[in-house]
Structure 1
Amino acid sequence: MLDIPLRVRVHVDALIAAQNDMGVCDAIERNAPAGKPAAMSAPHLPKVAGIEPTVPTPAHTAPPMPGLSASAPPPGAVIQDRLAGWVSDLTTLHELTERLARTASLDDALHELLRAGAALVGARRGMVVLEPAPGSWRADCFEPDHGPALTKGLGLTHAELGHIETVPRDATAYGRIMDGRLPDGRPGPGGLPEAVADPDLLAETTLDPRHRDVAVRLGYAASYTQPLASEAAGTLGAAVWMYDEPAAPVERQRHLVGLYMRYATEHLARLLELEHARVTVTTVAEELLPSRLPRVPGVQLAARHHTGPHGGGDWYDALPLPEGALGLAVGSVSGSGPSALAAMGRLRASLRAYAVMEGEDPVAVLSDLELLLRLTEPARTATALFAYAEPARRKIVLAGAGHTPPLVLGGRRTEFVETSLSAPLGMLACWEAPSVELSPEPGETVLLYTDGLLRRTGDPMDRAFARLHAAAASVPKSLRYDPAVIADHVLRTVLPEGLDEACGGEDVVLLAARFD
């Protein structure tokens, strides 16, 4: 048995974790204290991503003082140092994976991955290329403008990334990894791809000329490429870290970054699933709404719709009615997700039918809609506003069920329409509320919207109404001839940070009708 001094202590839980992950028993047998112990005391990796990489081991050590004989280390000291290094590595890995797990968007996750990997391998710059397998559902997650792949850089500008992308795909390590090929270009044996180290790119005689030119232009002399792959997710892409001088990560660094990248692959796969679901919900919501607005003499229409991340049930509609009339409607169904979208589609289709039959009486339209909702979906509620407009007479008759009041914007006024308070559909045994008549002046615009626009501001409702009123009043008079310009100005003013950065995840609907 080893005689380990009592002054050296090892945390039991950390020791067990190190044994499970690194094979401590085998390592102890393999690294018995013999030879130069100074090699065991190399600086450990930083524990937080983003900190400068490891400090290189000094090239020489100070000679022992005269008169003092070099004594052998105490028994077990080398083992204790090695265990301490493993515990430090596990702590680093734990902190980095925790930071990655806290990311909720694909863009944030890729940025955190690059920062953590750069710290682990001791590089300053890097890039990640995400490219799911062709034909898989993951390939549908990306916007059409970006193509099938998504590239993100760390310490690289868009122009520099563009230079790298000019290198032929089969001449890059990440391209061969994603194509399932070996470093020499031959087809791989299958299974998960392995990391590729290029410790001195400019010294390679087989390096592609275009790759050499780009490396010289950008000033990197070595690279380390790690695949984003796991058995469950497959190969999603690859990450490349670049060194300013010839270099390569040591075995310990490769092991740590390999463990980190396997975890990152699973996390990215989950984020891709969420992104795919969001895109699907958005597509369904857009298909349930009008593909184009009708052309009715005497009125111009414009609509803006943004589906929240969870897919709400906000909707709008505009349909031509007999005798040159026009029906305008906005509404919101309670809940979110596919069920709310389905209920929204059924409700909008039913309102269209009632509007054609009795559109001149908005109260009757909403009464029929309330009865249908209460009988077919008793557990769901909805708000709605329906307006019967006669552009030739510049007359609007409207009724609302628990909905936000319209806003009239003109040359001499900007005011909310006073509507009677009423409960949402599905809340009462029998819904009925008086209608309101409105006569817009020539050139005035009526804005219909859902409460998602107000909730997105993050303000209390009274302040949100005031912000909406101020946004409409601030529309320049020279721009009030176009309802689309008015709608865009209102959205930019109410939500200056944009819809994606605004508070909450509600849908936003804005329907503008300008009367000639």
Structure 2
Amino acid sequence: MLDIPSRVRVHVEPPLAAQNDMGVCDAIEQYAPVGRPDAMNAPHLPKVAGIDSTVPAPAHTVAPTSSVTGIPSATSSIGPGAVLQDRLAGWVSDLTTLHELTERLARTAALDDALQELLRAGAALVGARRGLIVLEPADGLGPDTTIGLGLGRADLGHIETVPRSSMSYGKLLDTPAGLPGGDAEIAQPDLFAEDGLDPRHREVAARLGYAASYALPLSTQAAGRLGAAVWLYDEPAEPVERQRHLIGLYARYATEHLARLVELERTRACMATITEELLPPRLPRVSGVQLAARHRTGPRGGGDWYDALPLPDAALGLAVGSVTGAGPSAIAAMGRLRASLRAYAVMEGEDPVAVLSDLELLLRLTEPARSATALFAYCEPALRKITLAGAGHSPPLVIGERRTEFVETSVSAPLGMLACWEAPSVELLAEPGETVLLYTDGLLHRTGDPMDRAFSRLHAAAASVPRALRDDPDAIADHVLRTVLPDGLDEAGGEEDVVLLAARFE
């Protein structure tokens, strides 16, 4: 990130500076020792407030230092010192603009947000109104996506119908790095005046109303090519040299930031895939009961899990649990714990206390530094009878026409917290059409409320399930998620894992 002080004092010998026309960074590095004095040499430094991405960065014009033949220069009477001050003021303003734009980009933590910010900032720097980014990492590991600025999904669809080889982003992405055209900008200042323009490209440009484009590759030395950015002009135009210099500096930093977010996105996707593979691929079909499950994985991967397995004598075992910690170790521990519980449930599932006691002993012997919460229910669908036991886990919730209430379970410690765990089981008789909802604490923690208020919110969400949806456990689970966690908090990517397991008895 560019670290630029708000005030810069520049000491330059006027004759030497007047003979050199250098770029921003070269001039500041050679001629401008940075300090923090009270004022600049320039009496009125242009003030650059918060940068509005919809407004192009302010342009600074530097008066010529020499006069055209026969015509006196407008600044010949001002002197080289004033000309230099105006030029340095423009450089400082440009650097301030870059500093604020890179600060705003650095605050983005999601890949989509960073791509949108890059598009907005780039449009402001090059003076365009619309644009798109095609993200296609060269290693082929993804993620691949196309995001537009001022372009709807239908507009992007029209652009994708143009042969890739005739689009500037296609030329950048399909040309190997190091070859001519693979690492350079592509400016098309007047598309309709170009000879050999693809007819489909001409048709799409006319339909969408753009007449020029400017494209840059997005690549880093470490990560290689990530994609390409293209900005579209409504009229024939192209960025001037100053704008190209600024967008080049900004794109260089932005691509490094994107590379880090791409790696983070890949890690999250890998964690989510591993977690999903350790959970049941499908829910069993058991006569007399309908099942539905919802699972949301946090960004670091957590240890929340659920299970549903058929047992002898037409019985059904339901389980939810949570392992402490996050990341690969917690996911691995969750997989081991779930597999062990399945084995114990097959052997002695009719006694949930024995199942959890065996699980606690295994956890204490094999992973003494870890604890877990769990709830196991032995269901007899023909009788609508449920026998359950919990170890430090939140109580199930019964949702029906006549009642919406939490099941009264005994208070017990999590697995691995005591030298010997045991707690009494609880029996529940469900009415026809009632749904028993099992869940993990992540559902409550994501609300951000204290636990008592979170439980109240969950109860209110369950009680508000519309009558028309109560026959469908999938609809009940979705309604509870959206009501307890509004505004997208139910989506994957939250800090806590969320598990919901709904069983509706007929």
Fold shared by both chains (TM-score > 0.5): yes
Does 2:442 correspond to 1:452? yes
| Distance (Å, rounded) in 2 between the aligned partners of 1:377 and 1:283 | 24
Gaps of 5+ in 1: 1-8, 29-40, 62-68, 142-148, 182-186
Task: Determine if the alignment matches structure 1 residue 87 to structure 2 residue 92.
Answer: yes
Matched, 1:165 2:168: no
Q: Which runs of 4+ in 1 moved over 6 A?
A: 18-21, 25-28, 43-47, 55-58
Matches of 1:54 and 1:412, distance apart in 2: 64
Is the 2:481–2:490 contact (alpha carbons within 8 Å) kept by the matching residues of 1? no
Alignment of 1:16-165 (within 5 A): 22-24=25-27, 48-53=51-56, 71-133=76-138, 136-137=140-141, 139=142, 141=143, 149-165=144-160
**1:274 aligned to 2:272?**
no
Q: Does the CA contact (< 8 Å) of 1:402 and 1:425 recur in 2?
A: yes
1:363–1:399 Cα contact (<8 Å) kept: yes
Check conservation: 2:60, 2:90, Cα contact below 8 A.
no
Shift of 1:111: 0.9
Cα distance in 2 between the residues matched to 1:293 and 1:10: 66
* Closer, same or farther: CA 51–45 of 1 in aligned 2, 3 Å: farther
One of 316, 321, 335 as aligned partner of 1:326: 316
1:76 to 1:180, Cα distance in 2 relative to 1, 3 A: same
Q: Match for residue 203 of structure 1?
A: 193
CA gap of 1:485–1:443, structure 2 versus 1, over 3 A, is same
**What one-letter code is carried by the residue in structure 1 that aligns with 2:332?**
A
Q: What is the 5 A alignment of 1:317-356?
A: 317-356=307-346
- Which residue of 1 is the match for residue 394 of structure 2? 404
Residues 258 and 46 of structure 1: is their aligned pair in 2 closer, same or farther, counting only changes over 3 Å? farther
Q: In the alignment, which residue of structure 2 is the partner of 1:34?
A: none
How far 1:331 sits from its partner (Å)? Answer: 0.3
Distance (Å, rounded) in 2 between the aligned partners of 1:175 and 1:44: 40
Instruction: Report the equivalent of 2:4.
Output: none
- The aligned residue for residue 452 of structure 2 is 462
Partner of 2:34: none
Question: Mean alpha-carbon deviation: is it higher for 382-391 or for 215-224?
Answer: 215-224
Distance 1:440 1:168, change over 3 A: same
TM-score norm. by structure 1 comes to 0.85
How many residues are treated as equivalent by the alignment? 471
Equivalent residue letter for 1:462: D
Q: Which of 198, 218, 236 matches 1:228?
A: 218
State the shift of 1:13 in Å. Answer: 10
User: 2:38 matched to which residue of 1?
Assistant: none
Whole-Å separation in 1 of the counterparts to 2:448 and 2:282:
31
Aligned residue type for 2:476: I
**Match of residue 294, structure 1, among 284, 306, 330:** 284
Is 1:178–1:238's contact at 8 Å kept on the other side of the alignment? yes
Corresponding residue for 2:367?
A: 377
Instruction: Quote the offset at 1:492 in angstroms.
Output: 2.1
1:432-447 correspondence runs (5 A)? 432-447=422-437
Query: 1:110 touches 1:152 (CA, 8 Å); kept in 2?
Result: yes
Aligned residue in 2 for 1:4: none
Task: Write out aligned runs for 1:182-197 (5 A).
Answer: 189=179, 193-197=183-187
Specify every segment of 5 or more residues in structure 2 that has no aligned partner in the other structure, as ranges: 1-6, 14-20, 32-43, 65-73
Whether the 8 Å CA contact 2:172–2:181 is kept in 1: the answer is no
> How far apart are residue 503 of structure 1 and its match?
9.6
- Per-residue CA deviations over 1:348-372 (Å, capped at 9, x if unaligned) read 1111111112211111111111111
CA separation of 1:70 and 1:177: change in aligned 2, threshold 3 A: closer
- In structure 2, do the counterparts of structure 1 residues 434 and 81 end up closer, same or farther at CA, with 3 Å as the change threshold? same
Q: Retained in 1: the 8 A contact 2:211–2:232? A: yes
Other-structure match for 2:377 = 387
User: Are the aligned partners of 1:47 and 1:91 in contact in 2 as well (CA < 8 Å)?
Assistant: no
Residue in 2 aligned with 1:177? 172
**Aligned partner of 1:11: which letter?**
R
What residue is the counterpart of 1:32 in the other structure? none
Shift of 1:87: 2.0
Q: 1:153 to 1:351 in 2, by over 3 A?
A: same
Separation in structure 1 between the aligned mates of residue 428 and residue 75 of structure 2, nearest angstrom? 99
Paired position in structure 1 for 2:67: none
Deviates more, 1:234-243 or 1:187-196: 187-196
CA displacement 1:134-169 (0-9 Å, x = unmatched): x532x2x3xxxxxxx411111222222222222111
**Cα gap change, 1:405 to 1:460, in 2 (>3 Å):** same
Residue among 488, 499, 502 paired with 1:498:
488
Alpha-carbon separation, structure 1, partners of 2:476 and 2:29 = 72
**CA 1:393–1:70 in 2, change beyond 3 Å: closer, same or farther?**
closer
- The Cα offsets for residues 401-456 of structure 1, whole Å up to 9 and x where unpaired, read as 11000011122111110001111111111111111111112221111111111112
Contact 2:435 2:503 in 1 (8 A): yes
Shift of 1:10: 5.7
Q: 1:13 to 1:307 in 2, by over 3 A?
A: farther
Q: What is the CA distance between 1:272 and its match in structure 2? A: 0.8
AA matched with 1:178: L
Alignment partner, residue 36 of structure 2: none
Instruction: Kindly indicate whether the alpha-carbon contact (under 8 Å) linking 2:216 and 2:229 is maintained by their aligned counterparts in 1.
Output: yes
- Relative to the length of structure 2, the TM-score reads 0.86
Distance 1:55 1:321, change over 3 A: closer
Q: Are the aligned partners of 1:315 and 1:330 in contact in 2 as well (CA < 8 Å)?
A: yes
1:313 match:
303
Answer yes or no: is the 8 Å Cα contact 1:233–1:265 preserved in 2: no
Report the CA distance between 1:486 and its aligned residue. 1.7
In 2, the alpha carbon distance for the partners of 1:87 and 1:196 equals 28
Q: Which residue of 2 aligns with 1:359?
A: 349
Going from structure 1 to structure 2, the CA distance change for 1:26 and 1:370 (only over 3 Å counts) comes to closer
Q: How does 1:462-481 map to 2 (within 5 A)?
A: 462-481=452-471
The root-mean-square deviation of aligned C-alpha atoms, in Å, is 3.0
CA contact 2:123–2:131 (8 Å) conserved in 1: yes
Quote the Cα distance in structure 1 between the aligned partners of 2:189 and 2:48. 20
SS of alignment partner, residue 350 of structure 2: coil
Partner SS state of residue 402, structure 2? coil
Aligned-pair distance for 1:501? Answer: 5.8
**Matched residue SS, 1:245:** coil
SS of alignment partner, residue 360 of structure 2? helix
Deviation at 1:498, TM superposition (A): 3.1
2:217, 2:229 within 8 Å by CA — same for their partners in 1?
yes
- Asked whether the equivalents of residues 48 and 96 of structure 2 are also in contact (C-alpha less than 8 Å), the reply is no
